[in-house]
Amino acid sequence: MLPVFDIKVQREELDFYQPILCDCCHKYGRYEAYVEYSILRFIGIPCFPVKKRFYAVSTCCNNLYLIKNREKALMIERQQGHNVFLFEKDLELIVENYPCTDL
């Protein structure tokens, strides 16, 4: 019997970058933003997104951060990123030296 419902995870890069002086490696780099969302599908047809998570990756040391501030993340997604600045309180470190090819 084939599954009627399933969930597919998709990632896409957002049009955002913020120059930074990294607290971890003390080099210049930038944050790049990504969104990851799960889509509920009915017999392979996408119905609606179930869960969204927003991430930032530092280009200097490839640290992966979860963007905790939902308002700022939604502004980045709506391409209003030129008005958004991510601070340490907005981010939660998930993985150090994250391999960029997986994201």
Query: What is the tens place of the pLDDT at every residue in 37-56?
Result: 888 888 877 777 778 899 99
pLDDT bracket for residue 36 (50, 70, 90): very high
What proportion of the chain, given as a percentage, has pLDDT over 90?
38
**Domains in the chain: boundaries:** 5-102
Q: What's the confidence (pLDDT) of residue 32?
A: 92
Over residues 24-35, mean pLDDT: 90
Q: Is the pLDDT of residue 19 over 60?
A: yes
Alpha-carbon torsion (26, 30, 31, 32), positive or negative = negative
* C-alpha span between 88 and 67 (Å, rounded): 10
